[in-house]
């Protein structure tokens, strides 16, 4: 038995899935995700729409001060109809997506090995998937949109 258990553990560990997912609900859940984002050196946004600053201005102001203090870069691909809010002074690394990308109040944040899909309408829900492969692909999507589709 003492020889078999390490072999079983080795097989189990080699089969571990490198994917972890969580669902966060409501304002506190959304804030927990945003606070987690501050543990990483860069954020890549797709579909930014000023939802959190509009719904939680005091929280957003505090969060953004902490982000700036930590020198965390934030690259926004903002929604077409919200582009006037993304001034170069407030958001130096932002570009506007075409109107075809607009729709429901959602946003995607890519940070570290995580992808957060945010539903920011009447009910706040955030789906966070931790996967190196998924995050790498979403960063490629962001780069393609940034370089080829979005306007400065």
- pLDDT tens for the chain, residues 1 to 152: 667 777 767 766 666 667 899 999 999 999 999 999 999 999 999 998 888 888 999 999 999 999 999 999 999 998 877 776 766 666 778 888 888 988 889 999 999 999 999 999 899 999 999 999 999 999 999 999 999 999 88
CB 128 within 8 A of CB 110: no
pLDDT of residue 88: 67
Cross-strand pairs, 73: 42
Say how far apart CA 96 and CA 14 lie, in whole Å. 43
Query: Domains in the chain, please, with CATH?
Result: 24-149 (3.30.870.10)
């Amino acid at each position: 038995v003492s020889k078999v258990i390490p072999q079983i553990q080795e097989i189990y560990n080699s089969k571990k899935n490198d994917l972890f997912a969580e669902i966060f609900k409501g304002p506190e859940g959304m804030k927990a995700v945003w606070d987690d984002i501050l543990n990483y050196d860069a954020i890549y946004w797709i579909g930014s729409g000023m939802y959190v600053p509009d719904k939680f201005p005091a929280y957003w102001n505090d969060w953004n001060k902490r982000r700036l203090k930590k020198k965390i870069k934030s690259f926004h691909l903002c929604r077409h109809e919200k582009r006037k809010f993304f001034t170069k002074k407030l958001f130096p690394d932002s570009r506007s997506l075409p109107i075809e990308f607009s729709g429901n109040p959602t946003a995607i944040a890519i940070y570290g090995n995580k992808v957060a899909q945010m539903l920011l309408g009447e009910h706040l829900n955030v789906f966070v998937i931790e996967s190196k492969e998924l995050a790498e692909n979403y960063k490629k999507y962001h780069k393609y949109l940034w370089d080829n589709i979005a306007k400065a």
